[in-house]
Amino acid sequence: MIDYQNHTLAVDGVPLTQIADTFGTPCYVYSAAALTGAFEAYRSAFAGLDPLICFAVKANSNLSILQHFARLGAGFDIVSGGELARVLAAGSPADKVVFSGVGKSEAEMEMALQAGIHCFNVESVNELARLNAVAGRLGKRAPVSLRVNPDVDAKTHPYISTGLKDNKFGIAFDEARAVYKAAASLEHLDIVGIDCHIGSQLTDVSPLVDALDRLLVLIDQLAEDGIVLEHVDIGGGLGIRYTDETPPDIAAYAARVAERLAGRQLKLVMEPGRSLVGNAGVLLTRVEYLKLGQDKHFAIVDAAMNDLMRPSLYDAYHGIVPVTQKDGLAALTVDVVGPICESSDFLGKNRALAIEQGDLLAVLSAGAYGSTMSSNYNTRARAAEVLVEDGQPRLIRRRETLDELLANERELLKD
């Protein structure tokens, strides 16, 4: 876990000062104990339902983190052929993988059919047709679940971003029954399930439960049509605490789900991402310069928007704390910014920090949608990643080298 020990922030007992000395900065640091704790919270809350908990790989796709979850018994929710390659490389059995996303290519479908994944979460009529054709060509049958858009009332739950009529995800609720009938007539598909995913960082589970209620209505209608589903996938979306949010109580959520699934022969699948990794990681960075202005002060750090994009992209808030607590040092109100040539390159604004130039900072809650959204903007090598397991830090992604960054272009230079 991540806490102060003798005034120094530590991950599973290892001081971040030591990690910075060994691996350099910027660097993502994860707690294996926190990953396990988050997974076990789901597993124990839903124990009575024996669910397939598919970690949403896009939240954090590092091979060692995927391996950690695979060893705990997790399945995986992927959104690309690249993510499939990752989960297989991490040792996950293919039959625990569900494949989401609106734009699956033929090559990706082939890859997933050859691997033998658990299920394709199909998001459109034309995707069904393509999948049927690809499966036919390979002499395979494709297991299919339709991602249904439950159109949960936005007025009561305005923060939902993917479960409403007017977005690109899923099949409209009103059309789903007809699409299922059409799907059932396609020769190379096995209709096995239904799924939805209505949004991310939800702090209230009511919309998730409302969405499940809508799916259950549809499931009963489909049974009347002779289409009997094996599983219901309730998606991901549970929020975490970045600052003062109250994250949903997983046990209370599980109780409401269990109540609804009681007496039904339906396997439960879910796709949590952020809530399994978000608070298990920090981004460790060093203050390169303190720049004190007349109106505003800046802490210019060695991490930037290319390392952690969420503040720039969504104006997301991440806690930022000094790695070493220094007694008697006055706090300064600073914007914590990176070296990138964009005004949007900030990690936090107006933070009161008792720091000096050269100090280490930890950007908190950076385990989800941090490293996976990183880029090479400004020709910056992507950060190293370290996993602390049983008090031992282990490098799980080497810092990129400049040679690696140039390689794909250097060979193509003209004389």
Ligand X SMILES: *Cc1c(COP(=O)(O)O)cnc(C)c1O
Site residues for ligand X per CB under 6 A: 56, 58-59, 77, 100, 197, 200, 235-237, 271-275
Helix residue spans in 51-172 (DSSP H): 63-72, 81-89, 106-115, 125-138
Can you tell me whether residue 320 is helix, strand or coil? Answer: strand
Please indicate if the annotation marks 248 as binding a ligand: no
Select 367 or 393, whichever has its Cβ closest to ligand X.
367
Q: Is 369 annotated as a binding residue?
A: yes
Catalytic residue among 27, 54, 196, 341: 341
237 marked among binding-site residues:
yes
Q: Which is nearer to ligand X, 123 or 345 (CB)?
A: 123
| Residue 143 near residue 115, CB atoms below 8 Å | no
Q: Which helix (H) or strand (E) holds 214?
A: helix 206-224
Residue 120, classed as helix, strand or coil, is: strand
Q: What type of residue sits at position 307?
A: D
Distance between CA atoms of residues 57 and 369, nearest Å: 10
Please say if 341 is a catalytic residue.
yes
Please work out, in degrees rounded to the nearest 5, the angle formed at the alpha carbon of residue 211 by the alpha carbons of 101 and 118.
Answer: 40
Pick 196 or 300: Cβ nearer ligand X:
196
Q: Is 271 annotated as a binding residue?
A: yes
- Closest approach, Cβ 51 to ligand X, in A, equals 14
Q: How far is the CB of 81 from ligand X (least distance, A)?
A: 16
Q: How many CB atoms lie within 10 A of CB 218?
A: 20
What is d(CA 162, CA 288) in angstroms, rounded to the nearest whole number?
Answer: 39
CB of 22 to ligand X, least distance (A): 30
Annotated binding residue at 245?
no
| Half-sphere exposure in the Cβ direction for 22 (13 Å, CA) | 17
Please name the residues in contact with 14: beta carbons below 8 A apart, sequence gap of 6 or more.
388, 391, 392, 393
Distance of closest approach, residue 235 Cβ to ligand X, in angstroms: 5
Closer of 275 and 371 to ligand X (Cβ):
275
Write the DSSP symbol of residue 339.
S
Whether 310 has a binding-site annotation, put simply, is: yes
Smaller CB distance to ligand X: residue 236 or 338? 236
- Helix boundaries (H) for 163-289: 173-184, 206-224, 250-261, 274-277
Q: Cβ of residue 149: shortest distance to ligand X, in angstroms? A: 12
274 known ligand binder: yes
For the chain, what's the residue count?
Answer: 415
* 78/287 with CB nearer ligand X: 78
In the complex, the smallest distance separating the C-beta of residue 277 from ligand X, rounded to whole angstroms, is: 8
The answer for residues whose C-beta is within 8 angstroms of residue 323's C-beta and 6 or more apart is 8, 9, 15, 16, 17, 20, 284, 359, 360, 361, 362
Residue 285: both structure tokens together: 């960075």
Residue set of the binding site for pyridoxal 5'-phosphate: 237, 271-274, 369
**Residues annotated as part of the active site:** 341
Residue set of the binding site for substrate: 274, 310, 314, 342, 369
Residue set of the binding site: 237, 271-274, 310, 314, 342, 369
